[in-house]
Amino acid sequence: MQLVHKGLAQHGAAIFAHEQTAGKGQRGRQWHSQAGENIILSVILNTSELQVSSQFLLSMATALAVYDFFNSYVIDETAVKWPNDLYWRDRKAGGILIESIVTGKEWQWAVVGIGINVNQVMFNEDVTNAVSLKQITGKHYKPIELAKEVCNFLHTQYQRLLNESSKSIITAYNDVLYKKGQVVTLKKNSAVFNCTVKGVNAFGQLITESATEQLFNVGEVQWVI
């Protein structure tokens, strides 16, 4: 982000961290990662060709890239959990955080942050459902080499976002959506309720159905897993 603000940013530049001491997650949460064990990656994208209204479409494209990468190593039971998590079964394998620079009506830059658990097998006590690639496959990996693969997948999905219809991105995202078509438990404020996950729309709203169809914005509800 400092490179962007200093006018030194280049489209496609990728910054890999071997250690992160103040990892950020969605809505003020922290992202914990053991030094040298995981993918901790930020990619700078020039988004001037995209509409400001397409911000969640970029999130979808990034999620698909991360999914494609992980699924190339773990064939079964990988999914994208709304809005921005990589899941294997009911366990979190990675997360995405995108920060944007918007001036007026122009979306100038986005910094795409990606964290994926690779070799880590011990997690903080407050992290109850984490999983890593090593835990699933039993193999040890070189995180920086895997990060290069993630960049290739991200390039592919970003070009898709630029050149194909938004419908194709939305459809692909919903095809790998965690718990789609299943009854889940969500929490809004102090109310806990069950509903069926129907999908996610272009604005990033979760579409659910119980007695009636409802839409929820990012941050409006929490999963109860």
* pLDDT in the model for residue 30: 63
Q: What is the CATH number of domain 2-175?
A: 3.30.930.10
61-93 pLDDT tens trace: 999 999 999 999 998 899 999 999 999 999 999
Alpha-carbon distance of 142 to 118, in angstroms, equals 8
* pLDDT in the model for residue 26: 58
Alpha-carbon distance of 111 to 97, in angstroms, equals 8
| Exposure of 117 in the CB half-sphere (CA atoms within 13 A) | 28
* pLDDT in the model for residue 25: 59
> Which tokens is 138 given?
């039993």
Alpha-carbon distance of 178 to 186, in angstroms, equals 14
Specify the length of the chain in residues. Answer: 225
* pLDDT in the model for residue 98: 96
Q: How many helices (H) and strands (E) does the chain have?
A: 5, 11
Nearest in space to 65 (alpha carbons), one of 149, 146, 132, 157: 157
User: What sign has the CA pseudo-torsion 117, 122, 125, 131?
Assistant: positive
* pLDDT in the model for residue 68: 97
Q: Please give the average pLDDT of every successive group of 10 residues along the chain, which has 225 residues.
A: 94 94 63 85 96 95 98 93 95 96 93 97 84 97 98 97 95 98 96 97 96 94 91
* pLDDT in the model for residue 31: 62
